[in-house]
Structure 1
Amino acid sequence: SVTTLVLVDIDHFKSVNDRYGHLAGDEVIKLVGHLLQAFKRPEDTVGRMGGDEFSMILRNTRAAQAQLLLADVQQGLRAKCLTRADLPVVSLSIGLVEFAEDMGSVEDWIRAADGALYSAKNQGRNQIVGSRAASEPPTGAPD
C-alpha cells in the first residue's frame, strides 16, 4: 500500500498576525485545522507541526490522489475566508511525497516533503508540489 506525507503551510501567516492581530491568526489556524480534519478519512492522520504548519499522513493514497484532495482543501479555505468578514483570505503552500522503499528513514520522507513544500513556496505560494525522491533539506525557505 502507498502512503503519502503532506506538509501544509499557511502563506504569509506572519502578515496575518501583524495586520489583523493574533486573534484573527488563531482563527485562521483553527479554520485550517478544521478543514484538514473535515477532508481526512478515518485511516488518515492530521496534526499541527507548530506555528502555521500542519501535516497529514494519507494511507492508501498516491500523490496524484492527494493533490486532488488538497486542491479541494485550498478551495474550501478560500470559500470559508470569503464568508468570514473578520478574516483575510489566506492560501496554503503544500508539499507532499509518497513513501518510497529507497528512503532510508522517516526523516528522509519528512525531508522530501519539506523540500516539496519549499518548492511550493518558491513557485509563488498557493501551490501543491509533489516529490517522489528523498532530497537534501532545504535552506533559507521563505516564511
Structure 2
Amino acid sequence: MKTYTSKFGSTLMLFLTFLFGGILVFMIYQDEPLKAILSTGGILMLIYLFILYLNFSTLYTITDTGILIVKCSFLYHQRFDIHKIKSVAKTNTLMSSPAPSLDRLELTYGKYNTIVISPKNKIAFVSQLVKINPNIENKIVT
C-alpha cells in the first residue's frame, strides 16, 4: 500500500489571502466599527484555516489489492477499482474535486466517469497505476 499526498494549492491560498485581506482593508478604510472588523476577520480566518486543513488532509492511497482510495478530510472518501481506470491525463479544470492544487490529473473510469486529483508526485503515482493496470492510457508526459 502506498499513500500519496496532494500537491499544495498555493494559487488558491494566495487568492484567498489577497481576497480576505482586501475585504478587511476595505472595512478599515470605510471606518467600520472595530467589532465588525474583528468578527469578519475571525470568520474569514476560520474559513482560511479550514481550506488550509483540506490542503493537508487530501490523500490518495493505492492498495495492494488494486484499489485507489481518495480521501479529503471528512468531506470526501471514495474507492475506485484501478482495473476500471481507462486513462490518465493532465488537466487544469476548475471543476470541484478532491484536488487542492490546479496542477491536476483527470482519471477516466467506467463508461463516462471522471475524477480529478492532484498528487504531489504525479509520475510515481501514474507509474504505480499503470503497473497495476497496464491497459490505462497514459496521456501525461513522463
State TM-score, norm by structure 1.
0.30
Larger radius of gyration: 2
Q: TM-score, normalised by structure 2?
A: 0.30
